[in-house]
Amino acid sequence: MLPKSSPAWILCLLATVLPAAVVRTAPASGYRDWRVYGGGPESIRYSALRQIHRGNVHKLRVAWTYDTGDAFEGSEMQCNPIVVDGVLYATTPKLRVIALDAATGKLLWRFDPHGGAPVRTRFRNRGVTYANGRIYVAVRQWLYALDAKTGKPVPSFGRNGRIDLREGLGRDPYTLSVSATTPGIVYRDLLILGSIVPEDLPSAPGHIRAYDLKTGKLRWIFRTIPHPGEFGYETWPPEAWKYSGGANCWAGMSLDEKRGLVFAGTGSAAFDFYGGDRIGDNLFANTLLCLRADTGERVWHFQAVRHDVWDRDFPAPPSLVTVLRDGRLVDAVAQITKSGHVFVFERETGRPLFPIEYRKVPPSDIPGERLAETQPLPLRPPPFARQELTEDLLTDRTPEARAAVLERFRKLRSGGQFTPPSFEGTIIFPGLDGGAEWGGAAFDPETGWLYVNSNEMAWILRLAERPKLDSTASGKQLYRQHCASCHRMDLRGNPPEFPSLLNLDRKYDHDEILRWIREGGGRMPGFGHLGRGAVRAIAAYVVTGKDVAAEAAAGPRVPYMLAEGYLKFLDPDGYPAVKPPWGTLNAIDLDTGEIVWSIPLGEIPELAAKGYRNTGSENYGGPVVTAGGLLFIGATNHDRKFRAFDKHTGELLWETTLPAAGNATPAVYEVNGRQFVVIAAGGGKWGLPSGGTYVAFALPEE
């Protein structure tokens, strides 16, 4: 007879008293491998493995490490590895592809897309795609198909194993900067892929495309900037489809294989912070899209930000979840946001599963700008990040820090979400990096809880007039027109994300500098469209200060730019201008729309040493939840910790220090009956030490 306190007895009682009620249980099958970015096509970052659990996680030890040898100053490694038939596939800081024995970390093969050329510019890549014995990976503008056994390009795919992602967008491919930082998703014989494109004009359109897995041939395209006659065309100026850019799905997609539906969240249109040249709501920017996976046909959509000028991209793949409604489980899709919200919709119809309110928002006083009059905000769940920076939330770390921050704050605009950009400076809170970020959310089908880590930093968005440019310009004018938004007028940048260009010739030779200006690298777009003479003139100005005349190709012009680049709101000592927590980890019940628990995530070691603890910290990379009752996450930028929490309570159960910050989402897998948890220790974010090591953990072997 079952004891009356046992879970099984309670379930039997529920079944007797409430025969129609649904009781959540662990999935009967699946979720035991990690063959897809994010753990599976549903993008829920869940593992059904339970060998490692709450009772023994404290025994975790390093099972193996693999140092890629590719780390360099400023490099990052954000990859979420995949594991197929005992082989782990991943990328390195220099965007080489590696295959490792998943049980030992032994190198099986390595592919170098650079052909042995030196790599000294930062790349970002979050993973690879596996299908039918091939590995697909994007490097710069190239999408490669590699033999999964050898790492060699498959000759029958595209041209000698690769296709050019700049092609097929309806514009001159050689004037475009297009790549993909997040791997695509496979449906039958298709690879469905988003892209990363420049955030300032000129920019490529962020159309979503599907390629034939065997040949690389383009099979369908969904235009996120609609052409004449297409749905949403009237939400843009008539000619915008010819020149506007962005509205791209850079964070990845999710797939409902049974229904044949693919879900994608898009980013803002270019230029991120001014839209006088794109008056209208700008579908399908900042939109959750549901498309037919076989044809790209739109099924439904929801636009979370109309006419975005705050860079409020959807930062992570949608999570395909189940939500309890009226005694039954409903298949749903949940989308986290940079602003700290969660939108939840019925998967097939797009019907909101929590109320959404369209609130009136203030107009812009920037000449030429015309913002939307209302914006949508969900009424539940409550935001998982603070929404408005007020004087009472400013730092009190020291009296001097508070006084300096308060003085600056009173000169800025701060009115919460959708306060327009301004010439004096507008507070963006949560900041331009979220709220939620690209690490994504984890969903536990056993409980209906969604786990999401969040940044709580304030940033300052200030616009300035962009210098005018004639067809015959100079290197200085070209630099100020195209480069100063990130690297500032004085070339000092906002290191390390936007590095200083002073004394650049001491680190790099002239040909390297020309190539970077022409082709781009990291977050920097290429400017080859300006013409060879213009590229050389910019290089001459940056390196020598000489103002050389050059003819530049004409293109779309945005009259405003960022006055100080991408600027965090910090105190005089370089710490956040807001009171802690500066980073959090949150559990949200999607059945009820309530936040179950929220804790600070991470701390800053030098402050902790002085007793200023549990502050939380900036975090990049996401969580993984397991059937063993655990939530694994690295992400914390400063303390380099990798942690395991009790998924029910948020209690810290285990932690270790990584060689560099684990700014990546871990992967959980099993080989030969042994469960592993692996994470990329890449660091390098915001000037912190870089690394290039994969670290796998497991319980000690008996």
| pLDDT, position 15 | 39
Reduce the secondary structure of 144-168 to three states and give it as a string.
EEEECCCCCECCCCEECCEEECCCC
| Upstream peptide bond of 3 is cis (omega within 30 degrees of 0) | no
| Domain ranges, ordered by start, for the chain | 37-387+429-456+582-698, 467-557
The C-alpha atoms of residue 582 and residue 603 are separated, in whole angstroms, by: 9
**Could you identify the residue written with the tokens 């509205």?**
247
* Rounded CA separation 179/409 (Å): 38
Residues 6+ apart with CB under 8 A from 551: 471, 472, 473, 531, 533, 534
Write out the two tokens for 355.
């109320």
Q: Which DSSP symbol is given to 194? A: -
- Could you give the angle at which helices 510-519 and 532-544 cross, rounded to 10 degrees? 130
Q: What is the largest CA-CA distance in the chain?
A: 90
Segments of the chain scoring below 70 in pLDDT: 1-21, 469-472, 494-497, 520-525, 529, 552-556
Distance CA 472, CA 489 (A): 20
The whole-model pTM stands at 0.92
pLDDT at 549 (0 to 100): 77
Please report, for residues 122, 491, 499, the alpha-carbon distance to residue 494 in angstroms, rounded to integers and kept in the order given: 16, 9, 6
Decide if 170 contacts 115 (C-beta within 8 A). Answer: no
Fold assignment, 37-387+429-456+582-698: Methanol Dehydrogenase; Chain A (2.140.10)
Helices (H) and strands (E) counted in the chain, each on its own, are 8, 43
SS3 content of the chain, % helix, strand, coil (to 5): 15, 30, 55
- pLDDT for position 260: 98
Measured CA to CA, the distance from residue 112 to residue 64 in angstroms comes to: 23
Between CA 637 and CA 218 the distance in angstroms is: 39
User: Contact at 8 Å (CB) between 233 and 271?
Assistant: no
Between CA 581 and CA 598 the distance in angstroms is: 10
Which residues, at least 6 apart from 167, have a Cβ–Cβ distance to it below 8 Å? 173
Q: Which two tokens stand for residue 702?
A: 């008996």
Residue 192 and residue 41: Cα distance in Å, rounded? Answer: 12
- 467-557 — its CATH code? 1.10.760.10
Contact at 8 Å (CB) between 474 and 550? yes
Q: Are 37-387+429-456+582-698 and 467-557 equal in CATH topology?
A: no
- Residue 111 has a pLDDT of 98
Catalogue the E-assigned strands of 422-532: 426-428, 442-444, 449-455, 459-461, 463-465, 472-474
